[in-house]
């Protein structure tokens, strides 16, 4: 099973960063405008165990520091593991 979604770029018009929460993220208050520029994220779930992230850009981390990795971990925890999540990021510029 796979799904492809567009992740649009945005410009922050206003941004207030609050204190760090227990989940290590900050509270944010923001006003932003999306742009036509976007990445296409293709997510594949298949039998197995583990997480893989593929991205053609050398500056994008593909390990557990990538936010997609955290999302995959949360999804696997909700399903009690058992699926290999293969994440591919393809840069598409409009």
Q: What is the pLDDT of residue 13?
A: 94
CATH number of the structural domain 2-8+37-92:
3.30.230.10
Q: What is the pLDDT of residue 79?
A: 65
Q: How wide is the angle at C-alpha 66 spanned by C-alphas 65 and 71, nearest 5°?
A: 110
- Tokens at 24, concatenated: 């290590």
- Tokens at 69, concatenated: 């990795």
Q: Would the pTM count as exceeding 0.75?
A: no
Domain residues of the chain, as ranges? 2-8+37-92
- Burial string for 18-55 (b: 16+ CB within 10 Å, else e) reads eeeeeeeeeeeeeeeeeeeebbebebebeeeeebebeb
Mean pLDDT split into 10-residue runs, the chain, 94 residues: 86 93 93 90 77 82 86 75 58 45
Task: Name which of 87, 89, 65, 92 is nearest 76 in CA terms.
Answer: 87
Q: What is the pLDDT of residue 35?
A: 93
């Amino acid at each position: 099973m796979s799904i492809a979604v567009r992740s649009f770029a945005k410009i922050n018009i206003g941004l207030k960063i609050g204190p760090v929460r227990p989940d290590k993220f900050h509270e944010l208050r923001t006003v932003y405008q999306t742009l036509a520029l976007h990445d296409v994220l293709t997510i594949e779930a298949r039998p197995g165990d583990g997480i893989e992230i593929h991205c053609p850009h050398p500056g994008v981390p593909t390990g557990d520091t990538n936010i997609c990795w955290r999302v995959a971990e949360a999804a696997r925890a909700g399903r009690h593991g058992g699926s290999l999540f293969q994440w591919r990021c393809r840069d598409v510029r409009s």
